[in-house]
Structure 1
Amino acid sequence: MGSCGAVGSVRARYLVFFQYLGTDFNGVAAVRGNHRAVGVQNFLEEAAKRLNSVEPVRFTISSRTDAGVHALSNAAHLDIQRRPGRPPFSPEIVTKALNTHLKHPAIRYLDIAAMQEAAQHLLGTHDFSAFQSAGSPVPHAVRTLRRVSVSPGPASLFVLPQESRRLQFWTLEFESQSFLYRQVRRMTAVLVAVGLGILAPTQVKVILESQDPLGPTS
Structure 2
Amino acid sequence: MAGAPARYLVFFQYFGTRYSGVMETKSDQALVGVQNYLEKAAEQLKPSAPIKFHISSRTDSGVHALANAAHLDIQRAPGRAPFTGPQLLQGLNHHLKPEPIRILSAQRVSSTFHARFCALSRTYIYRLLLGCAHRSQIPVFEQDLCWAPPGGGLEFWEVKVKSKSFLYRQVRRMVGALVAVGQGRLAPGRLQELLELREPRALPPHATAPPQGLFLHSVEYSHTDLAPPSAPAEEELCGLSRKEFIT
TM-score by length of 1: 0.53
Question: Residue type of the partner of 1:49?
Answer: E
> Which digits, 9 at most, give the CA deviation of each residue in 1:146-167, with x for residues without a partner?
834553468x9xxxxxxxxxxx
Alignment of 1:95-106 (within 5 A): 95-105=89-99
Structure 1 distance, partners of 2:90, 2:63, is 25
- The whole-number CA distance in structure 1 between the counterparts of 2:45 and 2:212 is 41
Distance in structure 2 (CA, Å) of the matches to 1:190 and 1:100: 27
Indicate conservation of the 8 Å contact 1:53/1:83, yes or no.
yes
One of 84, 91, 95 as aligned partner of 2:85:
91
How far off its partner does 1:68 sit? 1.2
Aligned residues: 138
Q: Deviation digits for residues 40-70 of structure 1, max 9, x if unmatched?
A: 0001111111211011111010111111111
Tell me the residue number matched to 2:117.
none
Aligned partner (choices 51, 55, 59) of residue 61 of structure 1: 55
Structure 1 residue ranges without an equivalent (≥5): 1-6, 107-111, 120-144, 157-171, 192-218
Q: Deviations over 1:9-52 (max 9, x none)?
A: 34101001111111000010000253323100001111111211
Cα deviations across residues 164-196 of structure 1 (Å, max 9, x unaligned)?
xxxxxxxx994224437242545x5799xxxxx
Letter in 2 for 1:151: E
CA RMSD of aligned residues (A): 3.5
**Are 2:155 and 1:151 equivalent residues in the alignment?**
yes
The answer to whether the 8 A contact 1:10-1:88 is kept is no
Does structure 2 retain, via aligned residues, the 8 Å contact 1:10–1:84? no
Q: Is the 8 A contact 1:59 1:78 kept in 2?
A: yes
TM-score under structure 2 normalisation? Answer: 0.47
Aligned partner of 2:65 in structure 1 is 71
Cα distance in 2, alignment partners of residues 33 and 27 from structure 1:
13
- If you compute each CA radius of gyration, which structure gives the higher value, 1 or 2? 1
Instruction: Check the 8 A contact 2:63/2:211 in 1, yes or no.
Output: no
Classify 1:12/1:24 alpha carbon distance in 2 versus 1 (closer, same or farther; 3 Å).
same
Aligned residue type for 2:204 = Y
Of structures 1 and 2, the one scoring higher in RCO (CA 8 A, sep 6+) is 2
Partner residue, 1:117: 133
What is the identity, as a one-letter code, of the residue corresponding to 1:183? H
The superposition leaves residues 110-164 of structure 1 with CA deviations (integer Å, 9 ceiling, x where unpaired) of xx8xx82316xxxxxxxxxxxxxxxxxxxxxxxxx9834553468x9xxxxxxxx
